[in-house]
Structure 1
Amino acid sequence: MDIGLMVEGQNGLTWERWLHILRLAERLGFPTLFRSDHYFIGPQQDSLEAYLSFAVAARETTRIRFGPLVSPVTFRSPVDVGRMAAQVDLLSGGRFVLGLGAGWNEAEHRAYGIPFPPVSERFARFEEAIQVMQRLWAPGPASFAGRYYRLEGADCLPKPASGRPPILIGGSGEKKTLRLVARYASEWNAVNLSPDAYAAKVAVLERHCEAEGRDPATIRRSLMTFAVIGPDEATLDRATLRMMSMWGAPAGTTPAQYREGLRARGMIVGGRDAILAALEQYARHGLQEVQFQHFLFDDDTVPEFLAAEVAPAARAL
């Protein structure tokens, strides 16, 4: 099992912090570094435009895979996303992973004047957007006549280095999302599921793959988690306080109490032994990578701990 990093780009990410995290991830040997694609969630803070940050990542790193986890298809036209993805893929030598989702946070859409259609339309647009991008990446001019998007002889040049960037689909919705994973995705990314919940979603994905005539083993499986982890109690407290500031907590809640609530919900909380015990359970269900949230942008303790004490043992799972 691989261990990757994930950062929330809308939670105070600056260029200085992004450059530092890119170099840190590369130096410590992480195979992947993903970031969210949001204007804001909760309080509005510094928030770097995702695709500008990916162009920087392509030039500042030489080895890691990177991309959005995930880009809502509501934010940009599929032509713009497809062109940017192809060019970042080319710039990085084929290391870009295009993470996509249907979009969910109505508040940021409303704040920035972005239409937020009903869920059924968002998923219909999602599927058409994937088809449009795949046409753009294929050799030669592309045409497409859908309900929401059209192409008429569009030859999107330059083409991506890898033929087409791998598409990662994030989410675990059983009726729509996992069906699209089975149909289109190179990678499925689940979010914050306990091992038992993850196993149940795997079973649903496998049924969708059977209906699509696809071998589920051809889909890479990863999971992003808001785990509260670290080598010591002080680090756990710092990470917990950061999470409490992001997501809120009842008045008077201590960091230790907050962590107990997270444990009760099946989240990973603790040090090396607790992490590896949880990863072993996920590995039984075919999970290939876990991306741990890097909450404290100005503190390298958790990434260094993961690289030194967790990743080597996880690779043996």
Structure 2
Amino acid sequence: MKLRIFTEPQQGASYDTLLQVARAAEELDFDAFYRSDHYLAMGGTEGLPGPTDAWITLAGLARETSSIRLGTLMTAATFRLPGPLAIQVAQVDAMSGGRVELGLGAGWFEEEHSAYGIPFPKEKFGRLQEQLEIVTGLWSTPAGEKFTYDGRYYRLTDSPALPKPVQPKVPVLIGGLGKVRTPALAARFADEFNIPFASVADSEEQFGRVRAAAQEHGRSPGDLVLSNALVACVGRDDAEVARRAAAIGRDVAELKEHGLAGSPAEVVDKIGQYEQAGASRVYLQILDLHDLDHLQLISEQVRTQVA
């Protein structure tokens, strides 16, 4: 089981704060540093000092870290055109020496689109599918050949399909709880399938749908990495758990039911349940980005137990 750090900077974080967390995650031997792709805070917070762009952030981190993998849960397809997105990801991959992963989703938060003048189309799933076809198609086009695409939403003519990523294949993540179209899309394009904030039982059911879709598409179900994203709130004792829950405005009982909360032993046990359901990676949603002692505790007393 690999543990990864997942941040939500729209809730309030500067680039320097994210850099501190990414460097701490690297030093503490977490597998990857991920961030959300949002431009507006949620839950009534102000999100100061304001939003940071996911791929500009990862470009900076690519030069200021050395070994940890970097990615998004999830880049919003509504925010970017697929051709420029393929260029951005390939460039950041080169800047990192081949450590980038692309989580790509349809986009869902209408208010942030309105706040920053971004069109919010009614049909998002079809656009996501075309973006996946284009991004992966540009990267896989042999050097010296052209890429052309004539879709319903996007058209590319004689693209040189450059630049190429450093990695032979940038891992692509798709996620969600849709029962039909989402597993089918993952079967076609994903290297990893991620389930956000779901129970063990719901995860097991969705993983089963994804494995079945992969088989129908002619893939071995084992080809797909399966993962969960879950909020983390770990403490050495009940008082420390309560303090950390209060710092993020959450209830301890709710966190224990819906996330990874409690003592290191409790969290290790809960991660084991997700592993039995099929997950081999867990993205730990860290909401208090100034509590680096939290990361150290998780690394020393949870990560080492589940590795």
Q: TM-score w.r.t. structure 2 length?
A: 0.93
- Measured after TM superposition, the shift of residue 234 of structure 1 is 4.0
Task: Decide whether the 8 Å contact of 1:36 with 1:71 is kept in 2.
Answer: yes
Given candidates 128, 147, 150, the residue that maps to 1:142 is 147
**Counterpart pick for 2:170 among 165, 168, 191:** 165
1:37 Cα deviation after fit = 0.5
Matches within 5 A, 1:78-227: 78-118=82-122, 121-137=123-139, 138-139=141-142, 140-227=145-232
Contact 2:207 2:226 in 1 (8 A): no
The structure 2 residue matched to 1:273, chosen from 265, 278, 290, is 265
- Residue 285 of structure 1 and its aligned partner are, at CA, apart by 2.4
1:36 aligns with 2:29: no
Counterpart in the other structure of 1:50: 54
Shift of 1:241: 2.2
> What is the match of residue 247 of structure 1?
none
Q: Is the 8 A contact 1:71 1:100 kept in 2?
A: yes
Q: Which amino acid aligns with 1:260?
A: A
Q: 1:233 to 1:181 in 2, by over 3 A?
A: same
Residue identity matched to 1:11:
Q
Q: Does the Cα contact within 8 Å between 2:232 and 2:285 map onto a contact in 1?
A: yes
**Residue 256 of structure 2 aligns with which residue?**
263
From the superposition, tell whether residues 20 and 262 of structure 1 become closer, same or farther in structure 2 (CA, over 3 Å). closer
Q: Whole-Å Cα distance in 2 between the matches of residues 143 and 175 of structure 1?
A: 29
Deviation at 1:156, TM superposition (A): 3.1
Shift of 1:44: 4.0
Query: How far apart, CA to CA, are the structure 1 residues paired with 2:232 and 2:31?
Result: 19
The equivalent of 1:26 in structure 2 is 26
**Other structure's SS at 1:205 match:** helix
Q: 1:296 to 1:153 in 2, by over 3 A?
A: same
Counterpart of 2:130 in structure 1: which amino acid? Answer: E
- How many Å separate the matches in 1 of 2:181 and 2:271? 27
CA drift at 1:166: 1.1
* Distance apart, 1:74 and its partner CA: 0.5
In the alignment, does 2:69 pair up with 1:65? yes
Within a 5 Å distance, the mapping from 1:285-300 to structure 2 comes to 285-300=277-292
Describe the superposition over 1:188-217 as per-residue Cα deviations: whole angstroms up to 9, x where unpaired: 111111111111111111221122121111
What's 2:301 paired with?
Answer: 309
SS for the counterpart of 1:168 is strand
Equivalents in 1 of 2:17, 2:146: separation in Å?
A: 40
> 2:228 aligns to what SS in structure 1?
strand
Distance in 1, matches of 2:21 and 2:212, equals 38
| 3-state SS in 1 of match to 2:226 | strand
Verify the 8 A CA contact 1:4 1:31 in the aligned structure 2: yes
User: 1:3 offset after TM fit, Å?
Assistant: 1.1
Gaps of 5+ in 1: 245-254
Q: Matched residues in 1 for 2:39 and 2:166: separation?
A: 29
Whether contact under 8 Å (2:201, 2:277) holds in the other structure is no
Q: Runs in 1 of length 4+ with deviation above 4 angstroms? A: none
Root-mean-square deviation (Å) = 1.5
1:249 paired residue number: none
1:47 CA displacement? 1.8
Distance 1:214 1:171 in 2: 20
Shift of 1:270: 0.3
Percent identical: 34
Residue 100 of structure 2: SS of its match in structure 1? Answer: coil
Q: Which amino acid aligns with 2:98?
A: G
Q: Deviation per CA, 1:229-250, whole angstroms, max 9, x where unpaired?
A: 2223343233322432xxxxxx
Shift of 1:227: 3.0
Equivalence for 1:250? none
Q: Which TM-score applies when normalising by structure 1?
A: 0.90
Select between 162-171 and 68-77 the one with higher mean Cα deviation: 162-171
What do the CA deviations read for 1:137-186 (whole angstroms, capped 9, x no partner)? 12232110001111111113221111331111121211222211111100
The whole-number CA distance in structure 2 between the counterparts of 1:206 and 1:182 is 8
Q: Secondary structure at the match of 1:174?
A: coil
Q: Secondary structure at the match of 2:277?
A: coil
1:53-111 deviations in Å (ceiling 9; x for gaps): 11111111111111111111001101111110111111112110000101111111121
